[in-house]
Amino acid sequence: MQKTKLLNVLIPVLSILLAFVIGMLIILALGKNPAEAIGYLMKGAFGSKTNLANTVVRAMPLIFTGLSTCFAYRCGVFNLGGEGQFLAGSMAAITVTLLIGHEGWWVTIVAVLAGTLMGGIWGLLPGILKTWRGLNEMITTIMFNYVATLFMGYLYTTALREGSVPQTAPVPDTTKIGRIIPDLRITWGIVVAILLGVAIWYFLFYTSKGFQLRAVGFNPVASSYNGLSVKRYMLTAFIVSGAIAGLGGACDILGTQFRLISGYGGGYGFDGVALALIAQLHPLATMAVAYFFAVLRVGSTTMQVGTGVPTSVIDIIQALVIIFAVAGSSMMYLPKVRKFVMNLFEKKEAV
């Protein structure tokens, strides 16, 4: 009800604040001025038009992987394969682009579709293993991540290698996803991401299928007794969730990175899981948290240059946010804590 809704907002916000307090203490312990560090962080993120644009660019892949997690987890599918599905999307997109050999907007569309499809297939495979053979998707999706990463290695070192450096050729200029404003690196990919987020939110809460998908996620037994095909929904969740991550990969390679190199795409998938969980699996909140993560990432570089506080402090803060958010949600199941919080609410209501 109202109280639970309020808690869903309160827990992440408190977690972020608490994580920052600890982060400041760490900075203080390093012998630096925390206020100054935060100042540089903010300046790095919001100081100029370019910096602001960079936060948006940085947020885009995170939004995709976060939404991918949202969709799967809402249906009770614990997809940890965002990493691999994202890469599958990027690889398909660049492979198609380079193989077609032509340039132009139609290649972009084909490549994006190929990326989405491949992401979907990368989700489908563990989905089949789960629905027909009952294998735990947390294990299989992670294993598929390795397959994707290693296959990417094959692409940039051997199959699609260009020249002496282990990397692929770049996406041709006219095939790149266009920028919204020519000066800034923000591409139309972010528009796709936001529209997708709104669409998923609408789907989950305002359509019949979305409603049924959530029911399956909460209680598969009751759902099957009420005539819902649990297997079909779960398999769909695998595919769609993979496709969302794949679309993200395609948008990222065609709009931001342009070529596969060693270490490409690492961490997006798992960051997606973390931020979707912080956002309590709400698609709109997921986008907000993704942006927040991006702000930290972008700002931290300026902070390091300006004050000498290493960027890893920001990694620590991020990790703390995750720990506090997850711990906070679980703590609400402890009777004493629950009682305490409810008492707080009751007092507030009395006032």
Partner 1 sequence: MNEILRMEHISKQFGDFYANKDINFDVRKGEVHTLLGENGAGKSTLMNVLIGLYQPTEGSIYLHGEKVHIESPAQAVRLGIGMVHQHFMLVEAMTVMQNIILGDKRYKGLFINHDARRKEILELSWRYGLNVDLEAKITDISVGTQQRVEILKALYRGAELLILDEPTAVLTDIEVEGLYSVIEKLKSEGKSIIFISHKMREVLHVSDRVTILRAGKTIKTLEASETDGKELANLMIGRELVECEYRKAEATGEPVIELKHVSYNKASKHNGLNDVSLAVRCGEILGVAGVDGNGQSQLSQIVTGVTMAEAGEVVLKGCRVSHMTAADFIEKNVSHIPEDRNRMGLVGNMTVEENLLLKSTQNCAFCDANGWHLKKKAMRAYAETMRAKYDIRCQSMEQEIRSLSGGNQQKVILARELEASPDLLVAVHPTRGLDIGATRYVRDTMIEARDKGCAVLLISADFDEVLQMSDRIIVMFEGKVMGEYSGKNPPIQAISLAMAGK
User: Applying CB under 8 A, which residues contact partner 1?
Assistant: 1-2, 4, 206-209, 211-212, 214-215, 218-219, 221-229, 335-336, 339, 343, 346, 349
Of 48 and 343, nearer to partner 1 (C-beta) is 343
The SS3 of residue 267 is coil
**Smallest distance from partner 1 to CB 345, Å:** 9
Smallest distance, partner 1 to C-beta of residue 340, A:
10
Pick 169 or 341: Cβ nearer partner 1: 341
Closer to partner 1 by Cβ: residue 146 or 218: 218
Nearest residue (CB) to partner 1, 173 versus 349 = 349
Shortest distance (Å) from residue 326 CB to partner 1: 18
User: Which DSSP string do the residues of 206-260 spell out, in sequence order?
Assistant: HSHHHHHHHHHHH-HHHHHHTT--HHHHHHHHHHHHHHHHHHHHHHHIIIII-S-
- Decide whether 215 or 303 has the Cβ nearer to partner 1: 215
Specify the residue, 140 or 236, whose C-beta has the smaller distance to partner 1: 236
Give Cβ neighbours of residue 332 (< 8 Å, ≥ 6 apart): 7, 11, 338, 341
- What stretches of 279-334 show up as alpha helix (H) in DSSP? 283-307, 312-331
Side-chain-side CA neighbours of residue 200 (13 Å): 31
Taking the complex as a whole, the smallest distance from the CB of residue 133 to partner 1 amounts, in Å, to 20
Give the residue with the Cβ less far from partner 1, 51 or 223.
Answer: 223
As separate numbers, helices (DSSP H) first and strands (DSSP E) second, the chain gives 14, 0
CA 322 to centroid of chain Cα atoms: 13
**Cβ of residue 78: shortest distance to partner 1, in angstroms?**
16
CB of 2 to partner 1, least distance (A): 8
DSSP alpha helix (H) spans, 75-177: 82-100, 105-133, 137-154
Rounded least distance, CB 221 to partner 1, Å? 5
Three-state secondary-structure class, residue 30? coil
**In the complex, minimum distance from the CB of residue 332 to partner 1, in angstroms, rounded to a whole number:** 13
Residues 6+ apart with CB under 8 A from 177: 108, 112, 187, 188, 189, 251, 254, 255
Closer by beta carbon to partner 1, 219 or else 257: 219
Look up residue 174 and give its two tokens. Answer: 């006219």
Phi, psi of 227 (to 5 degrees): 85, 10
3 state SS of 266: coil
Nearest to 256 by CA among 184, 163, 343, 346: 184
Is the Cβ of residue 169 or residue 284 nearer to partner 1 in the bound state? 284
- Name the token pair of 74: 């809402």
Dihedral, 220, 221, 226, 230 alpha carbons, nearest 10? 40
Q: What is the CA radius of gyration of the chain?
A: 21
Please state the closest distance from residue 328 (CB atom) to partner 1, in A: 18
